Amino acid sequence: MQITTCYNCFSKNRSFYAEENGHSLVKCGKCGLLYLKERPDDTEISQAHKQGKHSGLVELDVTGQFTDSKVPNYLKVLKDIYQYDFRNNVKWLDIGCGHGEFMTALQHYATGTIIVTGSEPNVQKQQSARKRGLDVSYFDIETHTGTYDVISLLNVYSHLPNPLKFIESLKRCLNKDGEIIIETGDTADLQAKHHYRPFYLPDHLSFASEKIVTDILVRLGFKIISINKYPYPNSQRFQSRCIFVKELMKAVLPHRDTKFTGIFRSYLNQKLWSKTDMYIRARLIQP
């Protein structure tokens, strides 16, 4: 295990935030970043990403499968982000593309020629995406020689040991007026009792906020074009009043098992989660 400090402001001042799966999450006393007090070393993280398995008191398997419902959701996000500003004839790299849901949405959304390449360390996810005819492989971005008009990182930021360093390495892979799209949670400012669970530690290494991510991008020479926020995906299951009422009835009836307490707590937190899934579009400023 490797002892860590805040990658954003480099402060060593931190306080306990939460614990899960044998790992401690701490909060930076200066900028508010949430990060693992001790994390696996880079080799272990790389191996875990390839296998889709992360060690703790309980082993996490995060391989999953292609989720059809994600495609229309991503189409809506693309419309919100670009509106009438989507460029044609672009080369696009989707880092951590998973099973390829976002790549599929891009192909549906583009009206002109778009060349979409995906980079994914998990071998099973690679195979899943290729079965759908997608161009997916895995390469080290720090030594990669290709260049692109847009690079996207969806649900990748929190898995990076050092997002600042990683984003810096992407700059040389961007063409003139190249853009980056980052999707991650805006949750670092939430109190621990209000933060959605589980944290999926140690798969997730940190949790940021809008200010932290935008400050990093500006510091690295990017101009923020837009920020779009949506409900945290898992909170959507609590938006059904039917589930809420059903569990409430169980709670008042004798001898009925109910999840009402947990659902009620999540129902109350729903407003806090309503704008926590964040998409940031930024353009690299030419020197």
Tell me: do 224 and 280 sit in the same domain: yes
Q: Which residues of the chain have pLDDT under 50?
A: 52-54, 56-57, 59-60, 234-244, 247, 259-260, 263
Total domains present in the chain: 2
Which CATH number does the domain housing residue 134 bear? 3.40.50.150
- pLDDT at position 113 is 83
How many angstroms separate the CA atoms of 43 and 78, rounded?
Answer: 34
Sign of CA dihedral 40, 100, 238, 254: negative
- pLDDT at position 273 is 60
Cβ atoms 126, 96 nearer than 8 A: no
- pLDDT at position 238 is 40
Give φ, ψ of 61 to 5 degrees. -110, 115
- pLDDT at position 257 is 54
Range of the domain at 247: 233-270
The alpha carbon of residue 163 and the mean position of all alpha carbons in its chain are separated, in whole angstroms, by 12
> In the structure encoding, which two tokens stand for residue 204, read together?
């997730």
- pLDDT at position 15 is 96
pLDDT tens column, 224-268: 999 999 987 644 444 444 444 554 555 555 555 554 455 455 555
Tell me: do 206 and 119 sit in the same domain: yes
Tell me: do 279 and 252 sit in the same domain: no
Tell me: do 122 and 66 sit in the same domain: yes
Tell me: do 249 and 189 sit in the same domain: no
- pLDDT at position 184 is 96
Cβ atoms 229, 273 nearer than 8 A: no
Tell me: do 188 and 246 sit in the same domain: no
Tell me: do 254 and 161 sit in the same domain: no
One DSSP character per residue, the chain reads -EE---TTT----EEEEEEETTEEEEEETTT--EEESEE--HHHHHHHHHHTEE-SSS-EE------TTHHHHHHHHHHHHHTT-PPSSEEEEEET-TTSHHHHHHHHH-SS-EEEEEE---HHHHHHHHTTT--EE---TTT----EEEEEEES-GGG-S-HHHHHHHHGGGEEEEEEEEEEEE--TTS-GGGS-S---TTT--EE--HHHHHHHHHHTTEEEEEEEEE--GGGGGG--HHHHHHHHHHHHSTT----HHHHHHHHHHHHHHTT-EEEEEEEEPP-
User: Is residue 7 assigned to a domain?
Assistant: no
